[in-house]
Amino acid sequence: MKRKKLVSVLLTVSMLAAAAVGCGQQKTQTADKTAAADEGAKKVTIWYYWEGENQQEVLSQMIDDYSSSQDEITVEAKYIPFADFKKQLSIGATADELPDIAIIDSPDHASYASMGLFADITDKVDTSQYFEGPIESCSLDDKLYGLPFGSNCLALYYNEDMMNGQKVPETWDELRATAKALSTDTVSGLAFCAKQDEEGTFNFMPWLWSAGTDSFHIDNDKGIHALSYIGGLVNEGAMTKEAINWTQGDVMNQFISGNVAMMINGPWQVPEIRKNAPDMKWNVAMIPKDEEHASVLGGENFAVIDNDNVDASVEFLEYVTDPERLAGYLESFGYIAARKDAADGQFEGDDIMKKFVEQMEYAMPRGPHAQWPEISDAISLAFNETITQTSTPEDAAKKAQTAIDGVLAE
């Protein structure tokens, strides 16, 4: 009897502990920032999914700076995990419980804009200083529904200690040969996130574009070439098949653990690698090319929700996207500014980030299309079928094209 009691006490305690830990985590994750609320002051709420510590600090910094600059508007930020973000926005839209600004993944901007969630701010802001790609990702039918925060793109990371005198690959053939030469029982020569979702598509688009086709056409020689090249990398042992289950974060962890010699990843990993693997010798180069250089444009946009608070939201955005301030925020963020006057002079003396700026010139946005998620789904299915050898590249391309054509015809 005594024993039974002991066991139940232990179990209860461990459950309580687990619950308490759960609560604690939630508290630290929601970086709620409430400035001194004046009576009758306007409040702007922001939803975001940035989980990196320094990313959250930058957001807090923005809000603090803004709060101390004026006392009419208070700003509050709420963290929602990336996996739940789209769901929460959709639910919020039906329940009329939306924030005033959502910091969203750029390819989703057009979808939500076409759902009518976002406000048309075309006449409220001046976009002459912005790069075309990022502004395009905030627009739908020539109307502007938000402002880009910062951009990123993918490039090739390599572990200098593992290269064994191999030359840094510049073409697809060189990449395949190098990756094969670097692969062992425990090391994968190359890895990139190849999940069957938007993250995987993000990592596959540079290959598709480099082969010479666009986002909406895959069933042609070029599309099939890209598919069979990636399928070949995996099936010839140049890249681990597990990449179909790895997020970009997983790929980065495998890279710093020495299980991956070269990886495709974005600049937001740079601060992470410097922090977690300070002794590692690594560098960054352009993604090896087939027909032409290509990379994919990523990053977040500030989407302005259509409600009576639009003017306050825009005012906050104008403040934080001021070129000087923006450059400061992006510095510790590992992102490239979406406006030219802020990007000039960014990353002075940082050769690795400079490589990303260089690669950025070849970065294109996915879509944009209101039903991009469906197109993306067809593309990610195609490369997953090829990698797992469930289909030939030809059949996979054909099937994907039928799905894409269906979406485009709607």
Shortest distance, position 187 Cβ to other proteins, whole Å = 9
- Residue at token pair 């946005």: 365
Shortest distance, position 182 Cβ to other proteins, whole Å = 15
Q: CA torsion sign, 300 to 304 to 309 to 314?
A: positive
Query: What are the backbone angles phi and psi of residue 257, rounded to the nearest 5°?
Result: -85, -5
Residues 27 to 56 in contact with other proteins, rule: CB under 8 A:
none
**Helix count and strand count (H, E) for the chain:** 16, 13
| Strand duo 101-105 + 42-48: pairing | parallel
Binding mask 355-384 for other proteins (x = CB under 8 A): ---------------xx-xx--x---x--x
**Exactly one of 56, 106, 196, 269 binds other proteins (CB under 8 A); which one?**
196
| 19 near other proteins (CB under 8 A) | no
- Token pair for 219: 């069933």
87 vs 274, beta carbon nearer other proteins:
87
Shortest distance, position 302 Cβ to other proteins, whole Å = 20
**Exactly one of 11, 20, 37, 408 binds other proteins (CB under 8 A); which one?**
11
One-letter amino acid of 97: E
15 vs 20, beta carbon nearer other proteins:
15
**DSSP type of residue 410:** -
What number of residues does the chain have? 410
**Exactly one of 57, 76, 242, 331 binds other proteins (CB under 8 A); which one?**
242
| Residue 100 CB partners (closer than 8 Å, separation 6+) | 44, 45, 46, 304, 305, 307, 309, 310, 312, 313
61 vs 114, beta carbon nearer other proteins:
114
Residues 107 to 146 in contact with other proteins, rule: CB under 8 A:
111-112, 114-117
Residues 248 to 307 in contact with other proteins, rule: CB under 8 A:
259
195 vs 225, beta carbon nearer other proteins:
195
**Exactly one of 127, 139, 201, 240 binds other proteins (CB under 8 A); which one?**
240
9 vs 37, beta carbon nearer other proteins:
9
| 105 near other proteins (CB under 8 A) | no
Task: Encode burial over 248-267: b for 16+ CB neighbours within 10 A, e otherwise.
Answer: bbbbbbbbbeeebbbbbbbb
- From 189-197, 208-216, 293-301, 358-366, span contacting other proteins (CB under 8 A): 189-197
Size, binding site for other proteins by CB under 8 A: 42
Nearest 5°: the CA angle 148, 145, 294 is: 45
59 vs 263, beta carbon nearer other proteins:
263
11 vs 37, beta carbon nearer other proteins:
11
| Residue 53 CB partners (closer than 8 Å, separation 6+) | none
CB-CB contact of 238 with 190 (8 Å): yes
One-letter amino acid of 13: V
**DSSP type of residue 241:** G
| 245 near other proteins (CB under 8 A) | yes
Shortest distance, position 297 Cβ to other proteins, whole Å = 20
Q: How many CB atoms lie within 10 A of CB 132?
A: 9
Helix (H, G, I), strand (E, B) or coil at 104: strand
CA–CA distance, 376 with 362 (Å, rounded to integer): 20
CA–CA distance, 108 with 112 (Å, rounded to integer): 6
| 17 near other proteins (CB under 8 A) | no
**Exactly one of 70, 90, 220, 402 binds other proteins (CB under 8 A); which one?**
90
| 23 near other proteins (CB under 8 A) | no
Chain residues binding other proteins by CB under 8 A are: 3-4, 6-8, 11, 15, 18, 86-87, 90, 93, 111-112, 114-117, 185-186, 195-198, 240-242, 244-245, 259, 370-371, 373-374, 377, 381, 384-385, 387-388, 390, 410
